[in-house]
Amino acid sequence: MFNPSKLFKVKNAWDTFSSNHPKFAMFLNALHQNGLEEGTIIEVNVTTASGKTLSSNLKLTKSDMDLFKELSELSKN
């Protein structure tokens, strides 16, 4: 069951996150506009406060692109 109040809560949290990290939000928007297609490789590196680095990557599949499309359409409503 779809819970509209949860969506509203997530939207508010996203707005706060975007305000706190505007460059990251712009980066995600640029990816959405220009860079995401099947076969694209996404690599993520995270450095913890203690200095430990964690890395991972993935190659986008058709099902990943379908998920992103659904999420994009959900955010438009």
Mean pLDDT of the residues in the chain = 90
CA–CA gap between residue 75 and residue 9 (Å, rounded): 13
Tell me the two tokens of residue 14: 């996203």
Please report the pLDDT score of residue 40 as a whole number: 94
**CB contact at 8 A, 56 and 41:** no
Q: Please answer whether residues 55 and 44 qualify as being in contact, where contact means their C-beta atoms are separated by less than 8 angstroms.
A: yes
What is the tens place of the pLDDT at every residue in 12-49?
999 999 999 999 989 988 988 887 899 999 999 999 99
Q: pTM value?
A: 0.70
In this prediction, residue 27 carries a pLDDT of 92
